[in-house]
Copies of this chain bind each other. A is one copy, B any other.
Amino acid sequence: MREKVIPPNTAGGPALRADARRNRNQIIVAAKSLFRTSGLDVSMEAIARTAGVGVGTLYRRFPDRAGLVAAVAAQSFRDVLADVTEAKEVEPSAWDAFVRLATQSENLRLTVHLAFLSLQSWRDVHAAPESEGVHREMMSALEALVQDAQEEGSIRRDIGAGDALYLISVVLGNRSPGTDTMRGMSTERSLRLVLDGLRAEPSGALPGEPVTVQELNTRMKQGADTLEG
């Protein structure tokens, strides 16, 4: 799915010089990448290093950590918005679009962390007007998508969009030990189970094999072994 970084000149400051804009984008890309792979608590140094700039530059572009998080979030929300649009264009039904989004949008995975799963980042997002606005937009789009699916009869009517999004979030957002290993397995299976729970009519077979507790433990161990030695 798309991963463009759009110049955020909505905020109205003076246009950035070309190199400054390039740096800004590199930082956001680096932060997104690290947030995804290592969680939200990577150090500012690490982000700057990954972006190929100095910390000073990072702080020149973003007032503080909260500001950076907000900017990354705003970007992430925009990406999700684009993914929603794309999904609706590409898929035949609202349900299919919803499923596509839930199962295939990497952007959504990061977004749920930034918007739902961390108190700190939620605060950061809502302290910055820029991310606040696009957050609202994204939520509306998601809500509309759910409601469309309800109207076409594919999502049960006794739930709200909030229920659906919340549920999808916690499943997507989980970064438990072994998540990386499990991605193609447990998370996908879980998602399917959850989507089944959301459906008006139960679906058919699940992907993959049943996961035993033994299996679960093995994956944990693998995850933990990659922690640092």
**Which of A24-32, A69-77, A92-100, A212-220 lies at the interface with chain B?**
A212-220
One complex includes copies of this chain to the number of 4
Q: Chain B contacts of A210 at CB under 8 A?
A: 158-160, 162-163
Complex contact A213–B170 (CB within 8 A): no
Size range of the chain A interface in the assembly: 35 or more
Complex contact B167–A176 (CB within 8 A): no
Taken together as a complex, chains A and B put the C-alpha atoms of A169 and B174 apart, in Å, by 9
Given the known A-B contacts A160-B212, A197-B193, are A177 and B116 also in contact in the complex, defined by CB atoms under 8 Å? yes
Given the known A-B contacts A118-B177, A159-B211, A212-B143, are A126 and B166 also in contact in the complex, defined by CB atoms under 8 Å? no
Chain B nearest CB, measured from A74 CB (Å): 16
Interface SS of chain A: helix
Complex contact B159–A193 (CB within 8 A): yes
**Chain B residue nearest to A218 in the complex (CB):** B162
Task: Give A115-151 interface residues, CB cut-off 8 Å to B.
Answer: 116-120, 122-123, 126, 139-140, 142-143
